[in-house]
Amino acid sequence: MPREVGASVSAGVMTKPRKAKRTAARSSPTRTPQKWSAAVTSGSNALDLEPSVFAKGSPRAVALSLKRSAERSRRRKSEPYRSATSMLTFYINRAGRNLPRARLEVLERAKGELRKAFGRG
């Protein structure tokens, strides 16, 4: 049985030749990285957020702002509680790596306040 160039025989079974692995394309050093998560937070179809909602000082203020935004928004696709919770979780997961510990704790506590604000806990 003739073998193809690059093919290998393992335990008597012919395998296809392997393709060369692609290396990741590198961006030019002058180009700034796109911050897609910032674009989602500011202009997503999930909610119309008020400015600096995630910078508010207390968990309750963050939760009430998200609740207000979720109830007023006509661009959301699910119920207000789910939209507000999703946006808060998205922000924590995406920005959480770069946030100070104190800020992250405020946002984590805002989840509980959001549940209370919607009467779910």
* pTM recorded for the entire structure: 0.64
pLDDT in tens, 16-66: 777 766 666 665 566 556 666 666 666 666 677 888 888 899 999 999 999
Is residue 115 classed as helix, strand or coil in its secondary structure?
helix
Amino acid, res. 85: T
Beta pairing partners, 9: 14
Sign, CA torsion 75/80/84/85: negative
**pLDDT at site 74:** 82
| pLDDT tens sequence across 78-113 | 899 999 999 999 889 887 778 899 999 999 999 999
**Domain spans in the chain, listed from the N-terminal domain onward:** 41-117
- Phi, psi dihedrals of residue 11, rounded to the nearest 5°: 55, 40
Q: How many angstroms separate the CA atoms of 115 and 121, rounded?
A: 6
The predicted structure's pLDDT at residue 23: 65
Strand-strand pairing, 13-15 and 8-10: antiparallel
